């Protein structure tokens, strides 16, 4: 990477971090008690503050039972962001209301730099493409992990495009351990390599599941369930259900007209990704990510903000796919275009 390119990416990082800071400050002023975290955002802070807890500890430390009632295995399985908050705070719970937004600002900067790296001729504002995905700024505002997962994911793609497969695998593992639906990036990259008949890199990327599986087994031993199979997801809500059937129920048993509209918007975005499938790697990943829509049940669309935020990774790669199509003459397009 040339000195000029490093300066450009540093500028992209600063631009994303400044915009994220503006979001953080706006949210902080409107809710000073929680300091840029609400809802599930507070769960990440709880996990960070009790990162070494076992099941008995969680029951003792959590008087509101939110972590217990909303899937302890699931919450501790998403360790990526709590680990960063714990690390930046030096393990001090009193500092975490401040370090949580700092982590988000740094993640937004890293994601912006990663996107700028993927679009070397995209102009300075290309760094902000991730912010066009509605869930991305919402994640920053609420103290959620999606922004961190996106940062890991876009840099994993960047390393993959430069045939640096081991760093890519490591970042994919980090992304999945931050939000398990980041696995769509691994699956999309794997499909792209299969299309190109590049088997050895595909095997290397597949090793990213080893640390994920090891940690999930550790969580299962400690809290009783592998995180994606936590009963909360199916027994306590209708967020996730049988593929296709769940999506149909999202319309027949919808909570509101707004829920239907948000679901339709995401379905249209998924169709856009599928339409662009053969134009770029981003579209391949976006198309794979769109498959998760088939399993989203009515509760997944009940709260508009949460529905949008949960789909952040999918939204980001749809945005990148559209941008890649519009910038088809750029150098990066040659690297990410699928054959045929």
Per-residue pLDDT, 268: 94
pLDDT value, residue 110: 97
Query: What are the 10-residue block averages of pLDDT along the chain, 340 residues in total?
Result: 82 94 82 65 89 84 79 91 95 90 96 94 86 94 93 97 96 97 96 93 96 96 89 73 84 86 92 92 95 84 83 95 76 42
pTM for the model stands at: 0.91
User: Cα 161 to chain center, whole Å?
Assistant: 20
Residue 29 pLDDT: 66
Which domain does 118 fall in, by range? 3-336
List beta partners, residue 240.
296
Predicted pLDDT of residue 284: 95
Number of other residues whose CB lies within 10 A of the CB of residue 331? 10
At 146, list the tokens. Answer: 């999606």
Q: Please tell me the distance from the alpha carbon of residue 75 to that of residue 122, in angstroms, as a whole number.
A: 37
Q: Residue 162 contacts by C-beta under 8 Å, 6 or more apart in sequence? A: none
pLDDT at 88: 95
Q: What is the pLDDT of residue 34?
A: 57
- Whole-angstrom distance, CA of residue 318 vs CA of residue 299: 23
Non-local (6+) Cβ contacts of 220 within 8 A are: 73, 226
The number of folded domains in the chain is 1
The structure tokens listed for 43 are 């769960």
């Amino acid at each position: 990477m040339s000195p000029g390119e490093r300066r450009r990416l540093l500028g992209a990082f600063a631009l994303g971090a400044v915009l994220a800071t503006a979001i953080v400050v706006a949210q902080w002023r409107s809710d000073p008690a929680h300091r840029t975290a609400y809802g599930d955002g507070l769960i990440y802070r709880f996990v960070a503050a009790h990162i070494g807890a076992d099941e008995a500890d969680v029951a003792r430390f959590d008087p509101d039972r939110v972590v217990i009632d909303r899937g302890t295995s699931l919450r501790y399985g998403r360790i990526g962001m709590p680990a960063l908050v714990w690390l930046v705070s030096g393990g001090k719970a009193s500092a975490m209301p401040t370090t949580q937004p700092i982590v988000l600002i740094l993640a937004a900067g890293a994601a912006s730099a990663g996107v700028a790296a993927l679009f070397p001729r995209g102009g300075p504002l290309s760094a902000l493409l991730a912010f066009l995905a509605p869930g991305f700024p919402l994640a920053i505002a609420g103290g959620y992990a999606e922004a961190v997962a996106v940062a890991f994911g876009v840099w994993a793609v960047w390393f993959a495009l430069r045939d640096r497969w081991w760093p890519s695998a490591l970042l994919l593992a980090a992304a999945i351990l931050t939000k398990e639906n980041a696995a769509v990036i691994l699956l999309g990259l794997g499909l792209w390599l299969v299309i190109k008949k590049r088997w050895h890199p595909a095997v290397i990327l597949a090793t990213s599941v080893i640390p994920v599986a090891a940690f999930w087994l550790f969580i299962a031993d400690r809290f009783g369930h592998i995180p994606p199979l936590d009963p909360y997801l199916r027994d306590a809500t209708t967020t996730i259900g049988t593929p296709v059937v769940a999506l149909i129920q999202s319309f027949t048993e919808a909570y509101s007209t707004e829920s239907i509209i948000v679901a339709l918007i995401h379905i249209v975005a998924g169709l856009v990704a599928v339409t662009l499938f053969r134009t770029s790697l981003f579209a391949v990943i976006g198309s794979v990510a769109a498959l998760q829509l088939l399993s989203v049940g009515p509760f997944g669309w009940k709260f508009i903000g949460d529905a949008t935020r949960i789909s952040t990774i999918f939204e980001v790669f749809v945005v990148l796919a559209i941008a890649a199509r519009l910038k088809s003459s750029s150098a990066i397009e040659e690297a990410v275009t699928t054959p045929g």
